[in-house]
Amino acid sequence: MSLQQRISDDMKTAMRAKDAERLGTIRMLMAAMKQKEVDERVTLDDGMIVGIVDKLIKQRKDAAQQYEAGNRQDLADKEKSEIVVLEAYLPQRLSADEVNAAVKAIVVELGASGPGDMGKVMGVVKQRLAGQADMGLVSAAVKTALAP
C-alpha cells in the first residue's frame, strides 16, 4: 500500500472514530500534499510525501518552541500532538551511529576535506538520507566529519 493510500485510509478511520484532533492533522497533511501536486504539476511518490511530512514536523517543532517561549503551553501541546500524528508516516529513523557512518562513507566517496566542502557533501547526504534521519543531526555529523 502506498503512503498516500495509507494516509487516506487513516483519515477515513479518524472520521469514523470522530477523532477531531487526528483528523485535523491528517487533513492538513493531505492539503500540503495536494498543494505540492498542484504547484509542481507532479504525482507524489512516497519519497516526496516523506519530504512533506518532514517539513511539516519541522514547522510544528519550531512553532512549539515559540509557543513555549511565549508561555502558551496549550498551543505548544497542540503542536506536539500534531508531531506525534505526523511521525507515524515517516520511515524508521537511523540512529546517530548509523548517520555518522553514512556521512563518513559519503565524505570518503566524494573525497571531501575541510569545511569548504560542506555544501557538496550535504547535497549528496540529503538525497541519500531524506526521510531516514533528522537533518539537524545529519548537519552536525557532516561538520564533525569535515572538521580539520
Residues of the chain with CATH 1.10.1510.10: 3-87
CATH superfamily, region 3-87? Uncharacterised protein YqeY/AIM41, N-terminal domain (1.10.1510.10)
Residue 31 burial by Cβ neighbours in a 10 Å radius (0-12, 13-18, 19+): exposed
Q: Band the pLDDT of 50: cuts 50, 70, 90.
A: confident
pLDDT of 70: 95
* pLDDT over 90 at 147, yes or no: no
DSSP string computed for 29-91 = HHHHHHHHHHHHT----HHHHHHHHHHHHHHHHHHHHHHHHTT-HHHHHHHHHHHHHHHTTSP
Residues of the chain with CATH 1.10.10.410: 96-146
Q: Band the pLDDT of 73: cuts 50, 70, 90.
A: very high
CATH code: domain 96-146 is 1.10.10.410
The residue-averaged pLDDT of 20-38 equals: 96
pLDDT of 99: 85
% of the chain with per-residue pLDDT over 90: 53
